[in-house]
Amino acid sequence: MILVTGATGHFGNAAIQTLLKKGIPASEITALVRDEKKTGDLKNQGITFKMGNYDDYESLEKAFEGVDKLLFISSNDPEHGLDQHKNVLNAAKKNNVGHIVYTSQETRNGKHTSIPFVIGIHKATADLIINSGITYTILNNTLYADSIDKFIGENYLETGIFFPAGDGKIPFMPRAEMAEAAAEVLAGTGHEHKIYSIAGEKAYSFDDIAELLSAIKGKKITYHKPDANTFIDTVVNAGVPKELASFLGSFGDGMANGEFDTQRSDVKHLIGRKPMELEEFLKITYGK
Ligand SMILES: NC(=O)c1ccc[n+]([C@@H]2O[C@H](COP(=O)([O-])OP(=O)(O)OC[C@H]3O[C@@H](n4cnc5c(N)ncnc54)[C@H](OP(=O)(O)O)[C@@H]3O)[C@@H](O)[C@H]2O)c1
């Protein structure tokens, strides 16, 4: 049995849809949920639900009974994430889960990171999984193309793009396609003890993104490149909460430093085709 955590979220749901498309029967897929009200369409598709919260070890221990493969989708809680991940791993160990597939973060292997609050948790979790004795696959996921809207802001058409990514390039990829790669690992063979780069084959700067969006929207969109501190001060003055501004600023700073431009991708090998080019993703997303 395959258990997918984060099943009520975007990545987990997309992974389940791909598993079903690949012919894995719904009866062999279980979704971990913490809020039963969110089960929606998955319930109609015949997916079994187990209640569980990353904060509650006992709930996970119970939920993971009989699980062969676990798609362990990382927590989005920077404060408690590592403790939550330890709960997931310990519950998997207790139940002799056969294979853990973990969604980590693709970055350059440098000492410095602009996003230690993300990378620290991923690195520690991946190390714990690798040293746990359980068969693993680590998916080093690049930044979601779906997150571009948060980086360029709501008013990019009027104001241009104002974001501190400098000339840095990012191999953005659609999240649904990344989930497809995860499903391939769960349904396929030969992925044991592997670490994969789940990233686009081409990396794009925000100059490239501004140019692509200008063509799609039929309007010149300028990319302004403040440094991270100027970005944070400016958007906080415009009413963005300080915590969110710092979070976005840190990602921009990491992009400017080339942290995400790893120039490697295992996606074609996993899903049998090249990942979607950003131009196509932007056309689908913004060309409405
Ligand atoms: N690579 C990237 O660019 C990128 C960007 C954003 C996030 N991420 C990471 O990738 C993960 C998946 O992304 P996503 O887009 O699918 O996020 P999402 O749509 O926000 O889904 C997160 C899922 O995790 C569940 N979850 C959160 N806290 C939990 C807890 N304490 N116990 C049990 N389940 C919990 C959520 O449950 P509820 O539905 O009940 O909230 C939801 O199902 C994120 O959690 C984050 O770690 C990566």
Q: Partners of 136 in the beta sheet?
A: 100
User: What is the pLDDT at residue 46?
Assistant: 93
> In this structure, are residues 202 and 140 in contact, taking their beta carbons and an 8 Å threshold?
no
Q: Is residue 242 part of a domain?
A: no
Residue-wise pLDDT tens digits, 137-156 = 999 999 999 999 999 999 99
**Residue at token pair 């894995």:** 24
> In this structure, are residues 172 and 145 in contact, taking their beta carbons and an 8 Å threshold?
yes
CA of 76 to the centre of ligand 1 (A): 5
- CATH code of 50's domain: 3.40.50.720
Q: Is residue 188 part of a domain?
A: yes
User: What is the pLDDT at residue 9?
Assistant: 95
Mutate to test the pocket of ligand 1, among 35, 73, 121 (most ligand atoms within 8 A of CB): 73
Residue 118 in tokens:
């993300």
Q: What are the start-end ranges of the E strands in 125-186?
A: 135-141, 161-162
**Residue at token pair 């058409």:** 157
> In this structure, are residues 24 and 2 in contact, taking their beta carbons and an 8 Å threshold?
yes
Q: Please give the Cα distance from 248 to 144 (Å, whole number).
A: 14
**Residue at token pair 């979704």:** 31
Q: Is 79 exposed, middle or buried (0-12, 13-18, 19+ CB in 10 A)?
A: exposed
Q: Is residue 246 part of a domain?
A: no
Domain that holds residue 28: 2-143+173-201+262-275
Total domains in the fold of the chain? 1
Q: Is 53 in the pocket of ligand 1 (CB under 6 A)?
A: yes
User: What is the pLDDT at residue 111?
Assistant: 77
Secondary structure (3-state) at 7: coil
For the beta carbon of residue 159, count every other beta carbon within 10 angstroms: 14
CA of 153 to the centre of ligand 1 (A): 21
Residue-wise pLDDT tens digits, 11-24 = 999 999 999 999 99
Residues of the chain with confidence (pLDDT) below 50: none
Residue 185 in tokens:
């690992």
Q: What is the 8-class DSSP label of residue 212?
A: H
Q: Is 107 in the pocket of ligand 1 (CB under 6 A)?
A: no
The identity of residue 279, as a single letter, is E
Strand (E) or helix (H) holding 196: strand 194-198
Q: Please give the Cα distance from 14 to 133 (Å, whole number).
A: 28
Q: Please give the Cα distance from 284 to 280 (Å, whole number).
A: 6
Q: Is residue 217 part of a domain?
A: no
Residue 58 in tokens:
């006992």
Q: Is 59 in the pocket of ligand 1 (CB under 6 A)?
A: no
User: What is the pLDDT at residue 61?
Assistant: 98
User: What is the pLDDT at residue 68?
Assistant: 98
Q: Please give the Cα distance from 52 to 58 (Å, whole number).
A: 8
User: What is the pLDDT at residue 107?
Assistant: 95
User: What is the pLDDT at residue 156?
Assistant: 96
Q: Is residue 66 part of a domain?
A: yes
Q: Is residue 256 part of a domain?
A: no
The identity of residue 47, as a single letter, is I
Q: Is residue 149 part of a domain?
A: no
Q: Is residue 213 part of a domain?
A: no
User: What is the pLDDT at residue 210?
Assistant: 98
Residue 25 in tokens:
């029967």
